[in-house]
Structure 1
Amino acid sequence: MSVERVHRLSYAVDAAAPAGALYALVADTAPWPLFLPDTVHTERLDFDGTVERYSHWTGTDGHPRRSLWRRALDAGRRRVDFREERPAGPVTGAGGSWRVEELAPGWSRLVLEQDLTVVEGPGAERVLAEAGARGRAAADGLRAVAERWRRLDGLLVSFEESVRIQGPAEPVHAFLYEVGAWTGRVAHVAEAEVVEDRPGVQRVRLVSLAEDGTPYPTEEVRVCFPAAGRIVFKRSRPHPLLVAHAGEWSVEPDPAGVTVVCRNDVLLDESAVERVLGPGADLERARRYVREVLGRESRAVLGPAGEYGGEPVRALRSV
């Protein structure tokens, strides 16, 4: 007969940020791939204004795990209670709460409480250690972002590139999926290596060429949703000017053809601006540079994707 035991974990960090700014980061999971190193993708499934269900992909080591969560948000108390649906064994129950306390003007404390019900056995200690490490990393990540709250809007860059194709969706999605074959097809890709241990979950290493021909490596995890025509990605080794880079490729069919969209979301590394762009470079120049580089790379993929679909490209747009 298996024996279950409830374990309770607690972790707290103080942040040089207003309580409201810190709570806002806890309450909105959409940008977590940029803020939390272990988060690959989050997707809201339901939300009634208070109770939210969302899907969470974690693990940038190439083996991301999907989990489902239900959260109750209480903005007045700056508290979020959460519970995992159908946790993986040996965990039979997992939940807890985030709580933000105001310490003084401009200072706040983030408290994470976790409870895990685990079947006792050889793997129990490892599960608890991993859960504790993930919780601490999440709290530390949110604290670090919150402390840049005055500059955060300037550090975040999001944009889309899209192309309109007169043709079927399937070959276009196949081109995007087969990233290992991009060498020789996509102008800036000098090398491409793909490992796919599970169908639809890819570890990708690319060597890209900058505009001056200088090579730079990037590594990313991609989670593919073929039925929906979507591929989400998180770069575990982003461009040298970035702290984090995530995004999505999507193929959207309609009766007249398909629209292919590449969305890029990035968090700039302000400490790298002068090192990468030279003395005197400021954040605005870094924003323009990243927009130009990643936009050019996205368009370089979208063009061949249209040709691979067998029909000419009708229009290309940037947002």
Structure 2
Amino acid sequence: MATVTPDTSAPHVTEHSVTVSAPVSTVYDLIADVSAWPQVFGPTVHVEVIEEAPESGGEQLLRIWAIANEQVRTWTSRRVLDPEARSITFQQVVPAAPVASMGGAWRLEPVDDGTTRVVLLHDYRAVGDDPAAEELIEQAVDRNSRSELAALKNVAELGAARDELHFTFSDSESVAGAAGDVYAFLDRADLWPERLPHVARLDLTEDEPGIQHMDMDTRSLDGSLHNTTSVRVCFEDRQMIVYKQLRVPVAMSGHTGRWVIESLGDGTVKATSWHTVTLDPEGVRSALGPEATLAEARALVRKALGTNSSTTLRHAKQFAEDTRAGT
């Protein structure tokens, strides 16, 4: 029998930190709430909790989709939340190549002046201990860590004002057609310029099945064009598409969403478009004028996004119903 030599190479270790002018409880809650990560952290596209065991000290199994070195990577991580120690440890259990192993921790330290020092630790190894791969991982870890800490600081320091800036809404259509046909219409965004009146141009690339990159020009009611870039994760088996805009209109600092298709059991389906938006106060003043209120901005954003998504849903409905009718 061949002898297997144990891998004794030491992992690379990195440390990044930032001081946040907010209470430690506020900062900890933002890190603990993975549902908010796509809005808080720029690199994060989507997160799902696969397993949760609060009785075992807050242990969670997560599936994460995030951008690293301009590519969407997905991996599974296990993390343990310890609110008393103000720490959250994590370890990738199914890494994405070229990562062979990745772990780390968030550690929060309250400071006497009411601020919080946040330390983000990583330890990692590359597949085969390849130096080129290690350099790529180091670049991604450094870039994402700096981005995440800066975003965490910005959001935490908003305090109660965040409730005014952050909102979620939805629009739905009942469809007398097949869920698969509605999904197909939404999935084939490359055909939207031919199918949707408000889409002037759309470039779509799909480096791997289910991961789409979109560069889109949308036509407003006044005829002006607005460019956005987005990443979409498509779940055909669940009839769901989630997305994150990487380039957003000036009044926003973040925009994520999802398309959800539900069979109602009577031969019809419910198709819903969800939007979650975070406004940028300076962007609101720049776009709408110095006297503009956040309430006015919310109403305008709700109308603009809701009009476009409702139009898309109506065309998806027509497509599915025509397909069922054979027309």
Q: TM-score, normalised by structure 2?
A: 0.90
Range with bigger deviation, 60-69 or 157-166: 60-69
SS state at 1:5 partner: coil
Question: 1:316 aligns to what?
Answer: none
Question: 1:140 aligns to what?
Answer: 150
Report whether the alignment pairs 1:80 with 2:88.
yes
Distance 2:292 2:148 in 1: 31
Q: Give 1 or 2: higher helix fraction.
A: 2
Question: 1:96 aligns to what?
Answer: 104
Look up the equivalent residue of 1:81 and give its one-letter code. T
The alignment covers a number of residue pairs equal to 312
SS state at 1:22 partner: helix
The CA deviation string for residues 263-307 of structure 1, in whole angstroms up to 9 with x for no partner, is: 111111111112111231011111111111111111010000100
Look up the equivalent residue of 2:278 and give its one-letter code. L
Look up the equivalent residue of 1:150 and give its one-letter code. A
Choose from 298, 303, 306 the match for 1:292. 303
Report whether the alignment pairs 1:64 with 2:72.
yes
Question: 1:305 aligns to what?
Answer: 316
SS state at 1:88 partner: coil
- Aligned alpha-carbon RMSD (Å): 1.9
Q: 1:61 to 1:195 in 2, by over 3 A?
A: farther
Question: 1:272 aligns to what?
Answer: 283
Gaps of 5+ in 1: 313-319
Contact residue 84 and residue 94 of structure 1 kept, 8 A: yes
Q: 1:183 to 1:205 in 2, by over 3 A?
A: same
Question: 2:12 aligns to what?
Answer: 7
Question: 1:281 aligns to what?
Answer: 292
Question: 1:224 aligns to what?
Answer: 234
Choose from 29, 32, 35 the match for 1:24. 29
Look up the equivalent residue of 2:253 and give its one-letter code. V
* 1:93, distance to aligned residue in structure 2 (A): 2.1
Contact residue 206 and residue 212 of structure 2 kept, 8 A: yes
Percent of residue pairs bearing the same amino acid type: 31
Distance 1:150 1:222 in 2: 30
Choose from 190, 205, 219 the match for 1:195. 205
Distance 2:94 2:83 in 1: 27
Look up the equivalent residue of 1:122 and give its one-letter code. P
Contact residue 37 and residue 60 of structure 1 kept, 8 A: no
Contact residue 63 and residue 201 of structure 1 kept, 8 A: no
Question: 1:116 aligns to what?
Answer: 124
Question: 1:34 aligns to what?
Answer: 39
Distance 1:271 1:31 in 2: 22
Look up the equivalent residue of 2:189 and give its one-letter code. V
Contact residue 74 and residue 80 of structure 1 kept, 8 A: yes
Q: 1:89 to 1:309 in 2, by over 3 A?
A: closer
Distance 2:92 2:152 in 1: 20
Contact residue 252 and residue 284 of structure 2 kept, 8 A: no
Question: 1:154 aligns to what?
Answer: 164
The CA deviation string for residues 16-69 of structure 1, in whole angstroms up to 9 with x for no partner, is: 111111111111111111111111111111112211111110118763110111
Q: TM-score, normalised by structure 1?
A: 0.92
Q: Which has the higher contact order (CA 8 A, sep 6+)?
A: 1
Distance 2:319 2:152 in 1: 41
